[in-house]
Chains A and B, each alone.
Chain A
Amino acid sequence: MAGPIDLDRRVPPAAVALPGGGQGDPVVSRPRPGPRPRQRLRRVLRAWQLYVLLLPALLHFAIFKFWPMYGVQIAFRNFNPVDGFLGSPWVGTAHLERFFSSFQFEMLIQNTLQLAVVNLAVMFPVPIILALLVNQLTYGRFRQFAQTVLYAPAFISTVIVVGMIYVLLSPRSGLVNHLITLGGGAPIFFMAEPEWFRPIYVGSSVWQEAGFSMIIYLAALAGIDPALHEAARIDGASALQRIRHIDLPGIAPVISILFILAVGNLLNIGFEKALLLQTPLNASESQIIQTYVYQAGLQEAQFSYSTAIGLFNSVLNLALLLTFNWVAKRFKQATLI
């Protein structure tokens, strides 16, 4: 999928726009003393039409989510297509061990974590700041214009954004290098220099996604009682003080939920863009766990080995998510589960 509008891997902001909304959802269900078996069966039979409506969705999840989950076991086998998921010989943790002791392990972990952390550190606060700024504007033409413009790049595909980067940063004909030479500098071959990979990645994420992520915070800010602001203004609070004491506490639950989600998805973020931005010359920084899974798994057909690496990534992710959810719970913030 592409861009910030992503069906599968990331969370559409729409779904989390609610202060504390995740809480109300019956995510964790406890078995209740149910009706007796026969009654139960009758209820199920009576609802058959509902199950028919639900069937396509269930099939989709069974085939494209749970079957691959079941297939994760090839991380502990030597997969060959003839024997399939279950028949391939069991090798235990050999693949994981090979990954941990491979020379790329350290580089991959470092690159992935650095990219993820830098990305989070920049991409998390920027939309909040943008929302607070836009919220200062009175409703009118300029506010509408700014909102639309900031929002628009989210609809551009990742391929096009990366294509724009290649074109605009081109060492010979690119706009950016013209500006650099105009200022008296020497042209930089951005795509060939590893140390430029992360700034380009994060910078383009800000350009493309910050305005879209801002919308959630704007919606939350719109929910703050204007009377609070009025009262504060009468008491002589400045705009900055009102942001500090009214706006920020008002959107804190939303910030908290989105932060948990962002941390939980830390290692999943934007691997497609990393793949597109990767060149042989910047691979020493741009090779992250997921691009490596793609390379080892699909280009070199090492199915089991790459599945093991992917599994390592998923488990790490899950651990992060659960940890942060627990931390948020301890601090009595809104939590996801």
Chain B
Amino acid sequence: MSRTSTESPRSAPSAGRRPLSNRIPDSTFSLSSVVLLSAACLAIIYPLYFILIASVSDPAAVAGGRVWLRPEGLTFDGYARIMSDPAIWQGFGNSVLYTAVGTAISVAIIVAGGYALSRKDLPARRTITFLLVITLFFDGGMIPRYLVVQELGLLNTMWAVVLPGAVGVWNLIIAKSFFQVTMPDELREAAQLDGASDFRFFFTVAVPLAKSLIVLMTMIHMVANWNAFFDALIYLNDASKYPLQLVLRNILIQSDISSTGAMSGDLASYAETARVAELVKYGMIVFSTFPILAAVPFLQKHFTKGAMLGAVKN
């Protein structure tokens, strides 16, 4: 946008001029945005806060509606149960593994592929880009993809969770435009004159200069892999391979209490299990959400930067 506006008092909307008394004063308006946004923030914070205090409150008090602003009848039974549940720890371990492997694969493919696509001297570049973009508009669908995964013998393995969603077209395009903008052709030409091959230039010049792209891609994929559940749901049958999100689904949504600890036969322990089950639900939400929320200010910085990266025109 050009910065010539000081000379254009006429461009202001004179048609919209009304007597001053009819207008809402600016201060009132900005005050009302503060009020509205505060309400929105409260609507986001309070449910999370309630879950936090309910996770350490007596379940009877929660069920009776006596928990509002602070915990009632402090108890850590829910967390004790969570910490002693092998299924949850196994899910946690699986998630760590899938997230680490999946993120490494995605980032490597995207950075290498994005770099190659950014090179104007790559033969058939337009055709390849066109083919990739097609996949944005048409998708084979869930069932054919499932059959392909089956055909490859990946069902019920970690690779079925990690590979099918590894590369998104948009991320590839972001990587491509990143290299186009940050890596001037002259730099590469100079390196080529000195005898550097494409590999050598990529690994010793391009990758070290793409640190911010790599950080951004790592964050995007870590969050996405950690939160993913659907591929695990359709491709895995073996409960010992479930990632945390699938374990959470069974506990929180299917209310499968039997998976959270052994159920012995007598009634008293059944009642106890049911009591703790509610605590476990609140506790699980806290356990799996608050670490990520604590990292949000940090993540936000990089994701906002990502929005800027994507915004760079080629």
Binding site for B on A (CB under 8 A): 1-3, 5-8, 11-18, 21, 24-29, 40, 43-44, 47, 49-54, 56-58, 60-61, 63-72, 74, 79, 81, 84-85, 130, 133-134, 136-137, 142, 145-153, 155-160, 162-164, 166-168, 172-173, 175, 178, 181-182, 207, 211, 215-216, 219, 223-225, 227-228, 230-232, 234-241, 244-245, 264, 272, 275-276, 290, 293-294, 297-298, 303, 306-307, 310-311, 313-314, 318, 321
Contacts and interface: CB of A to CB of B under 8 A. Distances in A.
Nearest to B25: A238
Contact of A17 (B20, B36, B109, B307): B307
B45 interface: yes
A151 B296 contact: yes
Contact of B307 (A43, A71, A79, A216): A216
Nearest to A20: B313
Contacts of A224: 1
Interface string B234-262: 10000000000110110111000000000
B12 A237 contact: yes
26 contacts: A2-B228, A2-B230, A7-B166, A14-B311, A15-B310, A16-B310, A18-B313, A29-B130, A53-B199, A56-B108, A61-B132, A64-B165, A68-B139, A79-B147, A134-B33, A146-B40, A157-B228, A164-B47, A173-B59, A225-B2, A234-B12, A236-B17, A240-B24, A294-B234, A297-B146, A307-B141
Given A149-B45, A173-B62, A207-B43, A318 B138 contact: yes
Contacts of A3: 223-224, 227
B198 interface: yes
Interface string B160-176: 00011111101111100
B138 to A, nearest CB: 6
Given A27-B133, A71-B140, A158-B229, A219 B311 contact: yes
Nearest to A304: B143
B24 A303 contact: no
**Chain B CB within 10 A, most for which of A162, A173, A306:** A173
Contacts of A66: 131, 135, 140
Nearest to B286: A160
B41 A49 contact: no
Contacts of B122: 47, 50-51, 54
Contacts of A40: 123
Contacts of B65: 178, 181-182
Contacts of B231: 1
Contacts of A12: 168, 170-171, 174, 220, 306, 310
Interface string B80-123: 00000000000000000000000000101110110111010111
Nearest to A321: B137
B142 A14 contact: no
Contact of B143 (A148, A162, A168, A298): A298
Given A157-B245, A163-B281, A314-B139, A235 B14 contact: yes
Instruction: Say what secondary structure dominates the interface of chain A.
Output: helix
Contact of A53 (B24, B115, B223): B115
Contacts of B293: 152, 155-156
B172 A57 contact: yes
B289 interface: yes
A1 B224 contact: yes
B49 to A, nearest CB: 11
A57 B5 contact: no
Given A147-B300, A231-B6, A231-B11, 13 more contacts: A1-B165, A3-B227, A14-B170, A49-B199, A67-B140, A133-B36, A146-B41, A151-B296, A152-B44, A175-B50, A235-B14, A237-B16, A310-B141
B167 A25 contact: no
A166 B129 CA distance: 43
A148 B51 contact: no
B116 to A, nearest CB: 4
Given A149-B41, A216-B307, A159 B245 contact: yes
B307 A219 contact: yes
Q: What 7 pairs between A and B have smallest CB-CB spacing?
A: A68-B140, A163-B252, A57-B113, A71-B144, A157-B227, A310-B141, A29-B126
A297 B141 CA distance: 11
B223 A298 contact: no
A51 to B, nearest CB: 7
A307 B143 contact: yes
A314 B136 CA distance: 11
A211 B170 CA distance: 21
Contacts of B132: 61
Nearest to B122: A50
B224 A6 contact: yes
A70 B119 CA distance: 30
A137 B115 contact: no
A293 B220 contact: no
A28 B129 CA distance: 9
B253 A166 contact: yes
A150 B135 contact: no
A15 B30 CA distance: 31
A31 B54 CA distance: 64
B292 interface: yes
Contacts of B183: none
Contact of A238 (B3, B14, B23): B23
Contacts of A297: 142-143, 146
A223 B28 CA distance: 25
A290 B165 CA distance: 18
A166 B282 CA distance: 11
Contacts of B288: 157, 160
Contacts of A168: 47, 50-51
Contacts of A290: 142
A219 B309 CA distance: 12
